[in-house]
Amino acid sequence: MSGGCGAIPLIAHDSPQAVLALRAGTTVSAGHYLADVRDVAARLPSGNHVLNLCADRYRFAVGLGACLITRRVSLLPSTHTPEVIREMARFAPDVVCITDEAACDIDLPQMQFPEELRDPGERRVREELRGAVTRWEPPRIDGSQVAAIVFTSGSTGTPLPHRKTWSRLSRCVRDGARRLGLIPGISHTLVGTVPPQHMYGFESTVLVALQTGNAFDAERPFYPADICAALARAPRPRLLISTPIHLRTLLGAGIDLPAVDLIVSATAPLERELAVEAERRFGAALVEIYGSTETGQIATRRTTETPAWQLWPGVRLECGATGTFAAGGHVEERTALCDVLEPQGAEQFLLHGRSADLVNIAGKRSSFGYLNHRLNAIPGVIDGAFFARDAVDSAIGVSRLAAVVVAPQLSAHSLLERLRECIDPVFLPRPLLIVERLPRTAAGKLPQHALRALLAGHA
């Protein structure tokens, strides 16, 4: 495909033999990837929109590439509930779902990822892999082409679309690679615990590899032993791309951790104590990424060294009476941020929490971030979170807080007594539920509706 002015290659790998992915311990070359991309592109049904639900990161990347070279748009909603799927169908009536799950229950027209392309060991003779190839020219994509539409939940619950052009996405991940120290000419292996459909996973485990000539592991390990096994298989230098909840679970598992060359964390601010332990246990620096679905990644910090975040090149903050906005650089349009930020000069800022994170009960103020920190600092707590109840406490005329906790060796009474020592009684959760697991998404987030559903079930 010719891209014309402003065209950007689909992949940055410098030869068809360069390693692009690792699947079940087997390497997949850039040439093999492009052959699979063209194969899937030829099979895509008519229509301009594709919901890519492939769980295997390599198959997801193949589907993405097939969409890009045929000028189709990948839809990336934050969840795949039946209501969200209905919204996708309303938003794009021609949408088709590509999946590698044999029994996918998504209520949309489906295309199964081709069975003959699933074997990582299979090496069909392809033009890109023949020794006679003298010119290596990956497809070029028009930079102004809409590559993906990501969705955030609006105030009404209806997903709100945000269009991402190929040039802005590419610029974002190339800037990010430089910030992470990914050196040109040295192939790094990226092992991610986040799904490729999530904006963080999309940028940090798929796009950054495609656009900087690096490789990614196709799996999405979840349990600590699986994460360690995936890291141990990955050639060095290797990066762990993860989240605070995955890191906390991994560090608390009591198992030996393979050495890595860099740890990357996002989706929620990381406590400095946890960052210090992660660096010590893995023997590598930990870098946090700040961003949002709307803006993409816009800043990083070395958590153990500074609380300040460093903005991406060209990105600026605009603060006013109506809030803080991000603009410039790779950000598609001036975008309101949902966090309370304090600029530190033109290129840095401090993060004080989400605008919706502040809690005011009976004239007393706190934040969910602080309350969650105190809860999770109690010995024996594996995971826990406060949230606001819908119901109003008639005794004080305001909404109470509730909390859910994973703490199999503790009682609700003992937890409340420990909390009473460090937070004002007005913020004590009523009720405090002890559960086997929190309803976190694959990216480690806690949807409010899922927390309230737990509360409703308890009632």
**Each residue of 363-398: b (16+ CB within 10 Å) or e?**
eeebbbbbbbebbbebeebbbbbbbbbeeeeeeeee
307-350: pLDDT as tens digits:
999 999 999 999 887 889 999 999 999 998 988 888 998 999 99
Give dist(CA 122, CA 124) in Å, integer. Answer: 6
Report the pLDDT value the prediction gives residue 456, as an integer from 0 to 100. Answer: 83
From CA 103, how far away is CA 112, in angstroms rounded?
A: 10
The string of pLDDT tens digits covering residues 194-226 is 999 999 999 999 999 999 999 999 999 989 999
| DSSP one-letter code for 347 | S
pLDDT at 338: 82
- At residue 291, does pLDDT exceed 70? yes
CB 388 within 8 A of CB 336: no
The pLDDT value given to residue 390 = 67
In this prediction, residues 259-282 reach a mean pLDDT of 94
pLDDT tens digits, one per residue of 140-190: 999 999 999 999 865 455 788 999 999 999 999 999 999 999 987 889 999
Residue with token string 């008639």 = 394
Share of the chain above pLDDT 70, in %: 90
Percentages of the chain per state (helix, strand, coil), in multiples of 5 = 30, 30, 40
Contacts of 7 (CB under 8 A, 6+ apart): 140, 141, 142, 143
Helices and strands, number each (H, E), in the chain: 12, 27
Tokens in use for 284? 């590598």
3-state secondary structure 320-338: ECCEEEEECCCCCCCEECC
Phi first, then psi: give them for residue 264, nearest 5 degrees.
-120, 135
Domains annotated for the chain, with CATH where assigned, are: 10-352 (3.40.50.12780), 362-458 (3.30.300.30)
Predicted confidence at residue 84, as pLDDT, reads 87
Instruction: Specify the amino acid at residue 92.
Output: A
State yes or no: pLDDT of 132 exceeds 50. Answer: no
Percentage of the chain surpassing pLDDT 90?
Answer: 65
Read off the pTM: 0.81
Please tell me the predicted confidence (pLDDT) of residue 127: 44
Residue 122 pLDDT > 60:
no
The CA-based angle 402-408-411, given to 5 degrees, is 55
Q: What is the pLDDT of residue 134?
A: 58
Residue 393: the pLDDT is 46
* Confidence class for position 130, pLDDT limits 50, 70, 90: very low
Provide φ and ψ at 120, rounded to 5°.
-65, -20
Q: What angle do CA 31, 230, 166 make, to 5 degrees?
A: 45
* pLDDT tens per residue, range 353-373: 766 667 777 556 677 877 888
Please tell me whether residue 444 adopts helix, strand or coil conformation: coil
Least confident window among 61-75, 269-283, 437-451: 437-451
